[in-house]
Structure 1
Amino acid sequence: MQQSNYLFFTTTCEQALDFYTQCGLGKVVELIRHGTDGIPLRNEAMRGKIMHAKFEGPGVLFYASDNDDAEPMRGSAHILMTDSREQTDQLFERLSQGANVTTPLGVQPWGDYFGKLTDQFGVQWMFNCSL
């Protein structure tokens, strides 16, 4: 058994996955689009949008898609457990482009280097590095 997150976007899944690739988190390894290859299409506006994608990188695995009935993201966050402050700083800086930083990176009362943000696509990310 393995638990993974599934992110639902309305129409920005492809842009989000491209952004996460540029940030160095990994890449799309599986992709199916609405209305192609015999996939049914309920809404013409969704044609060509991502119906299902698998995103993988070192220590990263999640799924994502566009859904015209998707609800805004809330109540869940990806947590990246990083190996060094340098790696944490780099990823935080990259993902913070257009983001709302809710907890700036810093040493927290529990002793770890931690920060939190909501990216430009509404996905929450937490970064934790044990010192």
Structure 2
Amino acid sequence: MDWKLELVFVPVSDVDRAKDFYVNKVGFNADYDERPSDDIRFVQLTPPGSACSICMGEGLLDAPPGTGTTLQMVVDDIQKAHDQLKNNGVDVSDVEVLPWGHFVYFADPDGNKWAVQYIPWRNAGQDSSAQDAGQGNS
């Protein structure tokens, strides 16, 4: 049996502002934005190529805005990801090169944190022992 993570809740204070940030600055796809009742609004957004989406809205969470756990996406080109974010007005970190991957970091308008990772050995054809060594696993 497969167990697939497909939806993560992100606590935000202003749904329209957050949706605009994720769609127009980060580049997520707007999948769904409905109000099934007067008390509930459900917005689902998905990073391009991802099987997992984020959702936000009204009447969905008790968590204070900006208190979501750090989420991470993986890309094939960290410089291109960095440049896209920066060119779209996202306050993104410089590229950080670590033994287990190359990273950039940003936060949404509420302070929910994101990491974007490039994993060099995924495209280099290394065997799993080299991958484990690169990730610091033993």
TM-score > 0.5, shorter chain as reference? yes
For residues 8 and 75 of structure 1, what CA distance do their matches in structure 2 show? 6
Q: Which has the higher helix share?
A: 2
- Report deviation, 1:75: 5.5
Residue aligning to 1:66: 58
- The answer as to whether partners of 1:78 and 1:126 remain within 8 angstroms in 2 is yes
Residue aligning to 1:28: 30
Corresponding pairs, count: 114
Residue aligning to 2:43: 53
Distance verdict in 2 for CA 1:51–1:94, change over 3 Å: farther
TM-score by length of 1: 0.68
1:105 paired residue among 91, 95, 112:
95
% identical aligned pairs: 15
Residue aligning to 1:44: none
1:118 paired residue among 90, 96, 107:
107
Q: Which has the higher strand share?
A: 1
The one-character-per-residue Cα deviations of 1:25-62 (angstroms, maximum 9, x if unpaired) are 322211123xxx6x144xxxxxxxx7111112321511
Q: Which runs of 5+ in 2 are unaligned?
A: 121-138
SS state of the match for residue 115, structure 1? Answer: strand
For residues 40 and 22 of structure 1, what CA distance do their matches in structure 2 show? 27
Q: Which runs of 5+ in 1 are unaligned?
A: 42-49
TM-score by length of 2: 0.65
